[in-house]
Amino acid sequence: MDIRVVDVPERGRFEIRDGEHCVGLASYHVDGGVMTLPHTEVDPSRSGRGLGTQLVRGVLTAARERGLHVLPYCSFIRKYLLDHPEELDLVAEADRPTFGLATANS
């Protein structure tokens, strides 16, 4: 498998690809210094292989590299952040209560 996460800005999404096949996506919108993340999905036939986790990790890495905060409206991304509190700094402290992340790092 040749798994990689690719930004496709003209479609407003990151894709996780296996070779040339898109097997999942995370939609996004950037406004100023904030990346809004409303939706993530992985092909159901590929579930249970960690592709969603790889996708979210790639999205959050890109946000960090670009100096952006994230608004994790997607429940899968919120769960990832709860499981990986070292990434919580990507959500502005003032926004954390909105997403149920206020106590994720305590």
Q: What is the 3-state secondary structure (H, E, C) of the chain?
A: CCEEEEEEHHHCEEEEEECCEEEEEEEEEEECCEEEEEEEEECHHHCCCCHHHHHHHHHHHHHHHCCCEEEECCHHHHHHHHHCHHHHHHCCHHHHHHHCCCCCCC
Give the pLDDT band of residue 103 (cuts 50, 70, 90): low
CA distances from 28 to 1, 2, 36, 89, 102 (A): 26, 24, 5, 18, 22
Is residue 100 pLDDT above 90, yes or no?
yes
End-to-end alpha-carbon separation of the chain, Å? 38
Q: What mean pLDDT is predicted for residues 54-74?
A: 98
What is the structure's pLDDT at 104?
A: 46
Rounded Cα distance between 79 and 28, Å, is: 17
Give the pLDDT band of residue 106 (cuts 50, 70, 90): very low
Rounded Cα distance between 102 and 85, Å, is: 11
Across the chain, what does the average pLDDT equal? 94
Which residue's structure tokens are 């709860």? 82
Structure confidence by residue, pLDDT tens digits, 13-61: 999 999 999 999 999 999 999 999 999 999 999 988 899 999 999 999 9
What is the structure's pLDDT at 105?
A: 46
Share of the chain above pLDDT 90, in %: 90
Which domains can be identified in the chain, with CATH numbers? 3-97 (3.40.630.30)
Q: What mean pLDDT is predicted for residues 61-69?
A: 98
